[in-house]
A and B are shown apart, each in its own frame.
Chain A
Amino acid sequence: MMRACLGIFFLSLAAVAQAIEAPPTAQDPVLEARLNNLAKELRCLVCQNETLADSHAELALDLRREIRDKMRQGMTDQQITAYLTQRYGDFVLYRPPVKSTTWLLWFGPFLLLIAAVGGLTFFLKRRRRVLEDIPLSAEETAHLNALLHAEKKQP
């Protein structure tokens, strides 16, 4: 009751001066920020396509509480992710750990890039060679002349 009265009091006050500062929901905002950063890379197991940071599932709340406790106990982020993977497996990690089964995942795109650039260079060089070897047919020459002619006419 007292708080509600205060609320009304502040409500009237707010029109005149700035209102009271709303406190952060979490008791320890610094810890909470660290928790959120970590939880953004963790997958909620119940509603499987949300991060642990965004999920409102009961288990997600429990896990956030656990992580908060572990952080207070001084565990590092690595230790906490290890704690979670021991129980739930790599599935909880949105950033898959680099190991033999994920080498293709992590390095595949860059191998693909190298292969594609290599293939492109090879293709362009070969293409030039092939095209140089084949003399233009009469029809193609006429066509080419027409093209060049057309090009000259335009500014």
Chain B
Amino acid sequence: MIPEIGHFALILALILALVQGILPLIGAATNQANFMAVARPAAQGQFVFVAIAFACLAYAFLANDFSVKYVATNSNSLLPAQYRFSAVWGGHEGSILLWTLTLSVWTLLVTLFSRHLPQAMAARVLGVMGLISIGFLLFTLMVSNPFERLLPAALEGRDLNPLLQDPGMVIHPPILYIGYVGFSVAFAFALAALMGGRLDAAWARWSRPWTTAAWVFLTLGIALGSGWAYYELGWGGWWFWDPVENASFLPWLVGTALIHSLAVTEKRGTFKSWTVLLAIAAFSLSLLGTFLVRSGVLTSVHAFATDPKRGVFILIFLTIVIGASLLLFAWRAPKVGLGGKFALISRETFLLANNVLLLVATGAVLLGTLYPLFIDALDLGKISVGPPYFDAVFLPLMAPAIFLMGIGPFARWKEQSLPELAKRLKWAFGVALLSALLMPLTLGKWTPLISFGLLLAFWVIATGVYGVWSRLSQTPGTMMSRIAKQSPSWWGMQVAHLGIAIFIIGVTLVKGYETERDVRMALGSAVAVHPYSFTFRGAKPQAGPNYQAWVGTVEVFKNDKLVATLHPEKRNYFSTGMAMTEAAIDTGITRDLYVALGEPLENGAWSVRVYHKPFVDWIWGGCVLMALGGLLAISDRRYRLHQRSANASPTLTVESQA
């Protein structure tokens, strides 16, 4: 009964989505207030029904209802409750339902925080989001129905993929989807502005907090996914340039460009058509990612069962949504106008140049991801494009972008003298260069690549510190009041940029200095990874809820003092017979100690992989800082203060520049 309620709720949600997607757009076009007024209640109702459907599916999982086919393929009665809940999005159908739910949550938030918008604008935004929702609800109901029954019911479920039975996998997909789908708001705002012919600073201001919020979640989602791969896959890698990873990274790159471009559009009224194109591109890449992951056109570690009908459906949906919005862009953008004037050397130019670099990097990642598909489609054979390619291409494209990142915040809007800029920043550059050259020597090994990576990071830090210092020293008052006087969005920028630097330090140092030992460890034997010594104390069998494990004990000494006791596991899941390596990690600010069990050898000995990974957590620390920067930016009162006057003529505010 419950699954049928869920199914029915989805149908009702579809009807409401149709109402939400059609009437308000007609109303906005023909200026009929009562049609436009439908948007909010329809969107809120749609959310309620999608939430009911989701709750019904979650109930089916928690109640072990194996008469539901999707539950029977993705769960098992032995599965612990929290994983039975996360199994809701452990397969294709539930993932799509989660996508739809996330979209309806974002839509709900728009209905709640859009009261200050002109009615036509709000109606168009909600209408566009309704149209996207129609597509996903149809997709769910037609080819991915999670409530499909299994007759006769299965006695036992097949189980959730053991790789996904992990706390990281409970939160990673929802966070990632919130980010992915969040770009639909920026997309809807962009289309609404194009339809209404009002691409102005007010539009940019309205979309900014939404875009930043989506970007924050996407950043965290990607970081969580990478962290999960790091400890769950058992070989200590944290990024593999896998198609699925790239699918989330592409919208992130464009989203980053969009955030910066929106800043220019809001403050200076320029780059309007470029910004609107980025908003369309960010969400299009989210949809494209969904297509790549769900259609099976590319092979990936995430081997989802694929159904050609699904691929065809998403492709048609993709063609309609993206094609229509790009045509709308081509039709409306030429009339947008150019906005304020600026000199060749100005903050506008720096931001635009950075945007272009980010987009070129996006193009490179997209090319590498899709190239095997192109070659295959042209019957030129099968090739693989992997990490060696992406490393070789992505890094040279990003390095100048990072360099510009240090300069941008110092340049003035409209016009900046280059010699003055050089004068201001030469010390920052000197300090960064010197410390980047010297620091590797203190760490034991110098290579040009390590120094170069550190140079980029130190450059960002040095310019950031100098920027903060000069801004604070120009503000009167006590230290606390000086700090408080700067706008949260300015602090947000500084924190996010610092996050990039921290991230680069993590990547550089772990790539440069990590040590790996693959050893045969008998009871009591030790392996030295300077300055640590790992001693093996044997492995014992231990029963888990739905698996049998070997749990090893490894003691880590530093200067004969015990610093950590690690328990790496080798699990064998009952239902699938799959063997899983659960690495044990001792996390520290300056290093991770990582131990993974390999295979059992004779006499209680095991092959063991031991890693010393210096500064690896800075990779995720950097991501967290970036997300924190985004949150600070959203918290800026500006977005709320000006909302009241938003109905009036668009105001261009010019902020003082340090």
Contacts and interface: CB of A to CB of B under 8 A. Distances in A.
| Most A Cβ at <10 Å: residue of B383, B517, B518 | B383
B654 A22 contact: no
A51 to B, nearest CB: 8
Nearest to B299: A48
A25 B518 contact: yes
B226 interface: no
A91 B524 contact: no
A25 B608 CA distance: 8
B397 interface: yes
A155 B356 contact: no
Contacts of A147: 652, 654
B522 interface: yes
Contact of B235 (A13, A43, A54): A54
Contacts of A18: 526, 533, 560
Nearest to A154: B656
Contact of A54 (B237, B367, B533): B237
Contacts of B341: 128, 131
B388 A112 contact: no
A121 to B, nearest CB: 9
Contacts of B458: none
Interface in B468-524: 474, 517-524
B380 interface: yes
A96 B382 contact: no
Contacts of B602: 3
Given A11-B524, A19-B535, A112-B363, A25 B519 contact: yes
Given A3-B522, A19-B524, A116-B359, A89 B382 contact: yes
B198 to A, nearest CB: 16
| Most A Cβ at <10 Å: residue of B349, B387, B523, B652 | B523
Interface in A105-155: 105-106, 108-109, 112-113, 116-117, 119-120, 124-125, 127-128, 130-131, 143, 147, 150-151, 154-155
Q: Chain A: interface secondary structure? A: helix
Interface in B98-131: none
Contacts of A90: 381-384
Contacts of A130: 338
B364 interface: yes
Interface string A82-107: 00000001111111100001101110
Nearest to A9: B524
A43 B210 CA distance: 40
A127 B59 CA distance: 59
Contacts of A19: 524-526, 535
B360 interface: yes
Nearest to B400: A113
B276 to A, nearest CB: 16
B544 interface: no
B352 interface: yes
B537 A25 contact: no
A30 interface: no
Nearest to B382: A91
Nearest to B355: A120
B344 A11 contact: no
B301 A49 contact: yes
Given A94-B384, A95-B386, A25 B338 contact: no
A154 B657 CA distance: 9
B573 interface: no
Contact of B384 (A93, A116, A155): A93
B50 to A, nearest CB: 32
B485 to A, nearest CB: 11
A119 B355 CA distance: 13
B37 interface: no
A92 B383 CA distance: 8
B353 interface: yes
Interface string A1-33: 001100110110110001111111110000010
B255 interface: no
Contacts of B522: 3, 7, 10, 20, 22
Contact of B535 (A14, A41, A54, A127): A14
A14 B101 CA distance: 57
A113 B607 contact: no
A24 B382 CA distance: 37
A102 B528 contact: no
Contact of B520 (A22, A95, A104): A22
A50 interface: yes
Contacts of B375: 101
A22 B300 CA distance: 36
A10 B524 contact: yes
A22 B383 contact: no
Nearest to A23: B520
A150 B655 CA distance: 9
Contacts of B240: 49
Contacts of B364: 108-109, 112
Contact of B518 (A11, A26, A125): A26
B524 A13 contact: yes
B518 A24 contact: yes
B35 to A, nearest CB: 33
Nearest to A121: B344
Nearest to A114: B360
A26 B384 CA distance: 29
B385 interface: yes
B397 A109 contact: yes
A57 B299 CA distance: 17
Contacts of A124: 344, 349, 352
Nearest to B517: A24
Given A112-B363, A113-B397, A117-B356, A7 B524 contact: yes
B367 A120 contact: no
B527 interface: yes
Interface of B: 233, 235, 237, 240, 242, 299-301, 338, 341, 344, 349, 352-353, 356-357, 359-360, 363-364, 367-368, 371, 375, 380-389, 392-393, 397, 474, 517-528, 533, 535-537, 560, 598, 602-604, 607-608, 652-656
Given A24-B518, A124-B344, A130-B338, 7 more contacts: A13-B524, A24-B520, A94-B386, A102-B371, A108-B363, A109-B367, A155-B656
21 contacts: A7-B523, A7-B603, A11-B537, A19-B525, A21-B525, A21-B527, A24-B520, A25-B519, A48-B299, A49-B300, A51-B386, A90-B383, A95-B388, A95-B389, A101-B383, A102-B371, A104-B371, A108-B367, A112-B360, A116-B360, A155-B656
- The 5 nearest A-B residue pairs measured at CB: A94-B386, A7-B523, A109-B364, A95-B388, A10-B524
